[in-house]
A and B are shown apart, each in its own frame.
Chain A
Amino acid sequence: MTDPGHGSAGLREFQDGFAQALFGGGPDGALRPEIASLVAQSGFAVYRNTVMKGCIDALQANFPAVSRLVGDEWFRAAAAIFVRDNLPRRASLLDYGGEFPDFLGAFEPARALPYLVPVARVDRHWTQAHCAAEEPTLDAQLVAAVPPQELGRAVLTPHASARWAWHSEVPIRTIWERNRAAEAPAGVSTTDAPELDWRAEGVLLTRPGGSVEWIPVAAGECAFLDVCARGGTLAEAAQRALEAKVDVDLARLMARLLGAGAFTRLDLGS
């Protein structure tokens, strides 16, 4: 095997120059002469267009609810700005766009759309749930079999596919769900729909039967899951859930989360 750097100066310079030219050139727009002679040919635009289109298509596929909310033209224009500074780091584009919600959060034209970033995060959660590792789903019977006095020390581990989000001001689940469904009519401005109840909402995504599903969740359930995700005990999780909502029904809360397939295992404290 040769040394990775050995003798590659010519090819390396070609690739540095070509890669820069795909997005306009160096810091001062300058190009090396042999690269400038390629950019001057009409065929160079094919590479520029293909690279940009491939990245934008992947983002649009990964953020369908965002795309639906803002429309095709707005989405692709914003995505083109994102792509210039955030080329994919991996050749698999299935999870491209991890930084896109934060980009939207700092994107001036998105400022008037307070629901856009939360919806982008739920789109991202869907992708992560979709691609997560296979794991067994914890059976509610196993939890029911634990003696009550030991339950407080038990630790529930969220399933690899479980993702949840809570928003205190935006009906995040309703907006996302209406814009995620492929069969929803295009062009409907969902946020203007009269029946939209502008209130706090949460959503839990899981993959219990092989495909991604979701249920509405309350603040207490999200607080409960947050504690489980950092390895806290059931007693701590219950405490947080009660802090989030004083009259939370813990038995019902656990039944809902277990029913949705939110956990993969139960460990009893020693």
Chain B
Amino acid sequence: MQNLKDFKASKLAKIFNQFFMVSMWVLGIITVFFVLLLLFLILKDGLPYVTWDFVIGLPSEIDAGGGIGPMLLNSFYVTILSLLVSIPISLGAGIYLAEYAPDNKLTSTIRVCVEGLSSVPSIVFGLIGIALFVEYFQIGLTIIGASLSLAMLNLPLLTRVSEESIRAVPHSYREGSYALGATKLQTIFKVVIPVAMRGLITGLSLVAGRAFGESAVIILAGGVNASAEMWDFSLFSPGGTLAVHLWYVQSEAIVPDAKEIAHKSAAVLLFVVLAINLLFRIPLWWMERKMK
């Protein structure tokens, strides 16, 4: 029998090790490079020319110099409304699936459905929006229709994120709480959710960013127009958002400065989505400081 002492560490293994590390570095750098390039290309044509008048100004159908005020307002309005509807429902569903649902065929079917729903193309949710709000309730293309259709789009992903974050909380926290005589409800809301908060907020910021930039659902359920005046908070005003407007001016509009408006809109859209992501970091950062 050969003595183990005679074996040497394989040179090949070392080379593979080095090679793998270098490849990962290169791939990482390529990814970051493309993301930065994309950001630069979008922002350079738009951001320098964005003025306050453009951001809150009314759009124009014929003359140059139109703004994006009502669309931008709609973007915020529709995103916030959709989240207000989808957060409680998905959090509830997530809590149910993670804490209450027994391990059986029914719940695994629900889980598969939720996963399936999150890969359904968004335009399908737009069609549901049309069928429901335009055809059944006959309220036309509105903010409320757009928000509720968007909420449906948010539901699967938010539910999944909630379930996963709650499930990831170590069982020892729950045991500690139960052992003190806390009820299940107290355990979930006082002990488990605070620990899951990091995952919940990260998931929420992803969904919020996506909802803010969503276009397919809004085109079908909210229309391509926004209110003709600024600061119109009526739920039944037309529900066109900035992302939709970007598509509209680029492809349909007859204004002479359509291209500039599209560039500037894209820059604003991107800027706001980045800001949303940063904004959601603040509570996380604050929590982490407190918990050090």
A binds B: no
Residues of B within 8 A of A (CB): none
